[in-house]
Amino acid sequence: MKYLSFFFVATLSWLPALPSMASGLSGPAVGSVAPDFKARNLLTGDKISLGVQRGKVVILTFWASWCAPCRRELPNLEKAQRILGKDKLTVLAVSFRENDAAAGGVKKLASQWQINMIDDFNGSIARHYEISAIPHLFIIGRDGKVLANHVGYGDRSLDELVADINHAFAQPIPEQDVSTEAAR
């Protein structure tokens, strides 16, 4: 009986961790402030900082040219940015573990989409976000906090993504950005 109750208590102690283990999610927790970073746009060479995007909803996705689901996801993200406007929604697509041979292909793919393609040549952004599988996408609210964390991409994930984007825009505008929003 002692062993049975120990097993029961041990099993219960694992229950809160099961959803995160089953989903395979890693990275900053939903509700936490997204780690800031500075990087370069692959095409323009412009410096990009996540912190400068405050006041907008940001989709931060990690992708690679060799990842077929990533190549299906990016046009949909670009379409969302185009429909909502860059002043409200910004897509930052971070190149993940590309080798030198693929660099030309990445730039060719990147030129097809009007989103910010970010070079993570040393992997520091991916390390801060604990990326181990792609595509891996975070939705960051106008206040800089992580609102959603998605791993993988498929037809079902598109509905979840739309719902999460709608949820992000339903959040109140941060106090510091109210005057900026009113001026628009």
pLDDT-based confidence at residue 110 (cuts at 50, 70, 90): low
> Is residue 9 pLDDT above 60, yes or no?
no
When pLDDT is averaged across residues 65-91 and rounded to a whole number, the result is: 91
The 3-class SS string of the chain reads: CHHHHHHHHHHHHHHHHHHHHHHCCCCCCCCCECCCCEEEECCCCCEEECHHHCCCEEEEEEECCCCHHHHHHHHHHHHHHHHHCCCCEEEEEEECCCCHHHHHHHHHHHCCCCCEEEECCCCHHHHHCCCCCCCEEEEECCCCEEEEEEECCCHHHHHHHHHHHHHHHHCCCCHHHHHHHHHC
* pLDDT confidence bin for 173, thresholds 50/70/90: confident
Q: Answer whether CATH 3.20.20.70 is correct for domain 28-183.
A: no
Confidence of residue 172 (pLDDT cuts 50, 70, 90): confident
> Strands 57-63, 136-140: parallel, antiparallel or unpaired by DSSP?
antiparallel
pLDDT at residue number 104: 62
Q: Is the distance from CB of 168 to CB of 161 less than 8 angstroms?
A: no
pLDDT at 12 over 50: no
pLDDT level of residue 153 (50, 70, 90 thresholds): confident
Window from 24-38, 80-94, 102-116 with minimum mean pLDDT: 102-116
pLDDT for 4 equals: 36
